[in-house]
Amino acid sequence: MNIQAAARKQSLIRMAAEVGFMYCGVAVARKLDEESDRLEAWLQEGRHGEMHYMERYFEERLDPRRLLEGCRSVIVLLHNYFAPSHEDQSHAGILGQGSPKIARYAWGEDYHRVLKDKMRRLVDRMKTEFGDFNCRVFTDSAPVLEKSWAALAGAGWIGKNTNLLQKQAGSYFFLSEILCDLDFEADMPVQDHCGQCTRCIDACPTQALEPYRLDASKCISYLTIELRRQIPVEFENQMEGWAFGCDICQEVCPWNRFAKPHQEPRFQTLHDAWPSAEEWLSMTEDDFEAKYQHSPIARAGLVGMHKNIRFLRLTP
């Protein structure tokens, strides 16, 4: 064992926890040859829908060394965002009766902003302790196979719903990565614990899931966020009230019974109440900008929210 790499790893874990991350692991930077055929087949089958950006930077997705010259380590960070269920929120007066459903990850401030702030603070601490080094930070913002690297770094296993799962915490967490030219003691992958369970597959109303494979073109999150044109008529009466994202395959996952509420103030619900369908449809661009400019919901835009809510048939 490289004693220096092991000691550096322990210091990294401590600093990551101090910044607010729930897990910190490391994988050795290399090309993910084992992912190449899977990714190519997924793209060729059109399972990415109209997310054409997935077709670009194929080699970069497989090899982080093409994103950072001299990259030796992929540091994987998890941050909890779990909040009470929609039913609990409704009872607390946060969700209005009949309000279109919003995925939990979008209840607070945009995670890109929050996590990049935290990673920059972590990098500053690392440079103070380890000396200068080269790095790049990412969170769902670059051609990086985040879940594959998280699994390699021992953060959990990729479940049948294609989310990263942890026995002790479920799946309500964001993934972030720091690519750097430092050496650390690497972590080992963990065992798959999905077993014979198929709850996520059985519960998906649009049949977007099969074991360990997602047809994103059928996923409610894709239909309500990524798809810019009208939602295909074939999905009528299958959306189950979701207007932005979807948590169904996480809500039914047995491992999420261990999820605990996050402690990050910036992920607290932005407003005392979510708008009703009628309030959404009467909202102006100025109102939307004032309320959601720093929210993940800004990605859909007001036009997108109107499109989704009209499709839900929630209007009187």
Q: How does pLDDT run across 212-244, given as a tens digit for each residue?
A: 999 999 999 999 999 999 999 999 999 999 999
Q: Over the stretch 49-105, which tens digit does the pLDDT of each residue have?
A: 677 667 676 788 889 999 999 999 999 999 999 997 655 444 333 445 568 999 999
pLDDT reported for residue 109: 96
Q: Span 33-49, mean pLDDT?
A: 80
User: pLDDT tens-digit profile of 132-149?
Assistant: 999 999 998 888 999 999
pLDDT of residue 97: 56
Active site positions, annotated: 140
pLDDT of residue 42: 77
CATH of the domain at 9: 3.40.109
Q: Is 157 domain-assigned?
A: yes
Three-class secondary structure of residue 266 per DSSP: helix
Count the domains in the chain: 2
| pLDDT higher than threshold 50 for residue 316 | no
Does residue 60 lie within any of the structural domains? yes
Q: Is residue 92 part of a domain?
A: no
Query: Across-strand partners of 166?
Result: 170
Q: Do 142 and 259 share a domain, yes or no?
A: no
Q: Is residue 102 part of a domain?
A: no
Please determine, for residue 313, whether its predicted confidence score (pLDDT) is greater than 90. no
Does residue 19 have a pLDDT over 90? Answer: yes
Question: β-pairing, 101-102 with 242-244?
Answer: parallel
pLDDT for residue 50: 79
Residue 39 binned pLDDT confidence (cut-offs 50, 70, 90): confident
Residues 7 and 139 in one domain: yes
Q: Give me the domain span that covers residue 286.
A: 199-311
- Would you state the pLDDT for residue 49? 67
Same domain, 213 and 139: no
> CA-CA distance, 211 to 198, in Å (whole number)?
8
Neighbours of 162 (CB within 10 A): 18
Report helix, strand or coil for 224.
Answer: helix
Mean of pLDDT values over 172-193? 97
pLDDT, tens digit (0-9, with 9 covering 90-100), for 273-306: 889 999 999 999 999 999 999 999 999 999 999 9
Rounded percentage of the chain residues whose pLDDT exceeds 90? 79
The predicted pLDDT at position 68 comes to 96
Whether residue 300 contacts residue 224, with contact meaning beta carbons closer than 8 Å, is answered with yes
List CB contacts of 285: < 8 A, sequence separation 6 or more: 302
